Structure 1
Amino acid sequence: MVHPKYKRYFRQTLAFGLIWLTFGLIYALLEKGILGRLIEYPSTGVAYDFQNALIYIGVGSFFGGLVQGWIEVTWLRKRFAKNRFWVKILFKSVFYLLFLILFLILLSLITNARRLGIPIYDPIALENVSQFVGDFAFWSVIIYAGAALDVALFYSEVNAYLGNGAIYNYSLGKYHKPREEKRIFMFLDMKSSTFIAEQLGHLEYFTLLKMYYADMTNPILETLGEIYQYVGDEIVVSWSLKNGSYNNNCLECFRKIDNRFKERSAYYRKRFGVVPGFKAGYHIGKVTVGEIGIIKKDIIYTGDTLNTTARIQEECNTYNAKTLVSNDLIKVLPKSDAFLFTKIGSLILKGKTKAIQLFRMDFNLPPSKG
């Protein structure tokens, strides 16, 4: 199995490749329209063949997009994670533009050498590329490709702001019409948040909150979770039944978060004077999901399942439990010795006659590697 983190990297990188490929094919068609019946490039005198140009530009563009995407999602995005949006776009654009110039010079060198049937270090191939770089045609390509680069970069940044998969769902209209899904939810809330906020002050508390959520991100991604909402000091995470039940991902998520904060406890204590604690409630059920809003659109879940999960999380205070799980969820998860479940009570919601059995969850084995 490929690690979930790398699956996410591959999906995001593929988006860059597809954007570049689209722009590349458009460029090849525009080039054909401009050159018309010409059989060579006016700027260099190199023979022009539409079929070869289409293949080289298409493959080169797709490969260039994959390279940019991989650099972005695995390295550069982290470097600029704390910068403002315009700073990210500006500095990343300069970086990728320099990369693009080198990439196009190399691509042109390989293409010319192959067409002429000579090595890339042959003086004729080098001279053709030199003429191309010194011609406006080259810089027109840079401008056009730079636009593709910035579109891919803008897409990546907006997608990060909206949430992974949001643009994809909006584009395909997946939830344009409401649909019913069975999903697993975890409502995780910070303990004593009001007291912590009073002790730190609102600005410092907000800094803690950003770090608090940042430290939860990898555990959520590693267990295929989807961040549905941030509600003050509460985070709502959701899984499809398939992703959440696989290897008990939904429960492993809490375990990984818990271990992450144990590892970081010294830092939190030194930086803020307190280590934030948390409690979580789990439940599964059918929800209605769809787009909502006119001025600002969002994809939301509605149904008793969310209300029930929120109530389960609140019951953590009643039973002095760190994690409460409904029996409905336990029944659909694979059996595992990694978790211990202790029945502690039941929950009857207003307007409902059937009680929901509640179990406290404890860890029995060390967290799984990966």
Structure 2
Amino acid sequence: MANEYENHRPDTDITVTWTVLIFASTAVFLVGITMGAVEVLWLGKRFKSKSFSIKILYKMGFYLLFMLVINLITYPIAASIELGDSVLSEGVWEKFSHYIVSLTFLSTMVSLAFSIFVSLLYSGFSEHLGHNVLLNFFSGKYHQPKNESRVFMFLDMQSSTSLAEQLGHTVYFRFLSDYYNQLSNAIIQYEGEVYQYVGDEIVITWKKEDGLNHANCIRCFYAMKQSLTKKASYFEKTYGVQPAFRAGLHLGEVTTGEIGALKKEIFFTGDVLNVTARIQKLCKKFDEELIVSDDLVNQLTKTKDISFTSLGTMDIEGRAADIALYVPKIKS
């Protein structure tokens, strides 16, 4: 629509000036913010239950129509800036009439359609594989195994066995889907990554700096709890139960790499996973919702709104040395 150099098609193309550039940059920024808000607040939720292909098709149509409308609105404004005339002037609308039947308009829409399709395709694959996983595959970050420090949370639903028996496997599947959907926003907000769904258990991980920063790993737990509390009436009405969970948090070294012959995935191995699982199982013994290790507590930046109560040291199965455990609490 705009040319940086000499304008060879002045009847359809906009010649770039500083004023036009500022207008175009502002328009692109506002359109990006609007599209992001629409995706997060409405469109993403509306097609959440649709198949991958249907989701791409519907979103493609919506965003292409949206960009067509934006294109038809912004072009006359840019033309009026270029010509130094009113947006309602005859010269502006004559140029606009030439534009909408030109190759410039067609090439702009084809370019937009391709960009939207690629973006939706990447977003869809990323959603199915997990945030950052697809990027890691493309970049080859874990093609060769590497050692790194990570925070892990093992989060297990309470009374899941009896609940599955009570609801039946079909209804229980829908229940799990609703349950995990309620946890997802908090995980994204506090920079976590879902490593595995194992039945009613979810394993969440953070890079060390992301998990420790502002106690994200601990705040994520309470944000997930709050999200479920807000939907308590829905779960009670739909399934006759309010879901609750317990979790263990631990920090340690893992070896990370791609694994699998028929299906590739990013895989973590190390003592930290076994210890975290054992810590989570101790929640029932101590009747606590969340227990964290001293390895994690000692590296957290202390904050005024989080306190820790010691549970003493425990002999963790599979670990030679005892480990000190704590119960974190966020002050209201």
In 2: Cα distance, 1:160 partner to 1:93 partner: 16
Is this contact kept in 2: 1:339–1:364, CA < 8 A?
yes
Q: How far apart are residue 51 of structure 1 and its match? A: 10
The percent of aligned pairs where both chains have the same amino acid is: 37
TM-score normalised by L of structure 2: 0.85
Q: How far apart are residue 203 of structure 1 and its match? A: 0.8
In 2: Cα distance, 1:254 partner to 1:82 partner: 25
Counterpart of 2:194 in structure 1 is 227
Counterpart of 1:75 in structure 2 is 42
- Residues 275 and 108 (structure 1 numbering): CA distance in 2 closer, same or farther, change over 3 Å? closer
Counterpart of 1:240 in structure 2 is 207
Q: How far apart are residue 205 of structure 1 and its match? A: 0.5
Q: Which consecutive residues of structure 2, in runs of 5 or more, have no partner in the other structure?
A: none
Q: How far apart are residue 324 of structure 1 and its match? A: 2.2
- Residues 105 and 364 (structure 1 numbering): CA distance in 2 closer, same or farther, change over 3 Å? closer
Q: How far apart are residue 60 of structure 1 and its match? A: 8.8
Q: How far apart are residue 47 of structure 1 and its match? A: 6.9
Match of 1:343 among 287, 308, 311: 311
Letter of the aligned partner of 2:205 in structure 1?
S
In 2: Cα distance, 1:286 partner to 1:203 partner: 39
Q: How far apart are residue 66 of structure 1 and its match? A: 5.5
In 1: Cα distance, 2:234 partner to 2:164 partner: 18
In 1: Cα distance, 2:17 partner to 2:257 partner: 44
Classify the secondary structure of the residue corresponding to 2:191: coil
The number of residues matched between the two structures is: 329
Q: How far apart are residue 142 of structure 1 and its match? A: 1.9
**Cα distance per residue 1:313-334 (max 9 Å; x no partner):** 1223343433222222222223
Counterpart of 1:363 in structure 2 is 329
Is this contact kept in 2: 1:347–1:357, CA < 8 A?
no
Letter of the aligned partner of 1:104 in structure 2?
N
Counterpart of 1:218 in structure 2 is 185
Pair 1:316 & 2:295 matched: no
Letter of the aligned partner of 1:281 in structure 2?
G
**Cα distance per residue 1:296-353 (max 9 Å; x no partner):** 3222211111111112112233434332222222222234463332325412333x42
Match of 1:162 among 124, 129, 137: 129
- Residues 61 and 177 (structure 1 numbering): CA distance in 2 closer, same or farther, change over 3 Å? farther
Counterpart of 1:146 in structure 2 is 113
Q: How far apart are residue 364 of structure 1 and its match? A: 5.9
Classify the secondary structure of the residue corresponding to 2:194: strand
In 2: Cα distance, 1:300 partner to 1:112 partner: 54
Is this contact kept in 2: 1:349–1:355, CA < 8 A?
no
In 2: Cα distance, 1:145 partner to 1:243 partner: 35
Is this contact kept in 2: 1:190–1:277, CA < 8 A?
yes
- Residues 358 and 131 (structure 1 numbering): CA distance in 2 closer, same or farther, change over 3 Å? same
Counterpart of 1:304 in structure 2 is 271
Q: How far apart are residue 281 of structure 1 and its match? A: 1.2
- Residues 60 and 147 (structure 1 numbering): CA distance in 2 closer, same or farther, change over 3 Å? farther
- Residues 122 and 203 (structure 1 numbering): CA distance in 2 closer, same or farther, change over 3 Å? same
Counterpart of 2:139 in structure 1 is 172
In 2: Cα distance, 1:61 partner to 1:84 partner: 33
Is this contact kept in 1: 2:13–2:99, CA < 8 A?
no
Classify the secondary structure of the residue corresponding to 1:138: helix
In 2: Cα distance, 1:100 partner to 1:316 partner: 51
Is this contact kept in 1: 2:257–2:267, CA < 8 A?
yes
Q: How far apart are residue 230 of structure 1 and its match? A: 1.1
Pair 1:333 & 2:289 matched: no
TM-score normalised by L of structure 1: 0.77
Is this contact kept in 2: 1:40–1:48, CA < 8 A?
no
Letter of the aligned partner of 2:40 in structure 1?
V
Q: Which consecutive residues of structure 1, in runs of 5 or more, have no partner in the other structure?
A: 1-23, 33-37
Q: How does 1:56-71 map to 2 (within 5 A)?
A: 63=29, 67-71=34-38
Q: Which moved more, 1:251-260 or 1:273-282?
A: 251-260
Pair 1:40 & 2:19 matched: no
In 2: Cα distance, 1:237 partner to 1:280 partner: 10
Is this contact kept in 1: 2:15–2:82, CA < 8 A?
no
Counterpart of 1:17 in structure 2 is none
In 1: Cα distance, 2:225 partner to 2:14 partner: 61
Letter of the aligned partner of 1:251 in structure 2?
I
Letter of the aligned partner of 1:155 in structure 2?
Y
Is this contact kept in 2: 1:347–1:358, CA < 8 A?
no
Q: How far apart are residue 49 of structure 1 and its match? A: 6.6
- Residues 194 and 289 (structure 1 numbering): CA distance in 2 closer, same or farther, change over 3 Å? same
In 1: Cα distance, 2:186 partner to 2:35 partner: 26
Q: Which moved more, 1:150-159 or 1:191-200?
A: 150-159
Q: How far apart are residue 190 of structure 1 and its match? A: 1.1
- Residues 48 and 224 (structure 1 numbering): CA distance in 2 closer, same or farther, change over 3 Å? closer
Pair 1:106 & 2:67 matched: no
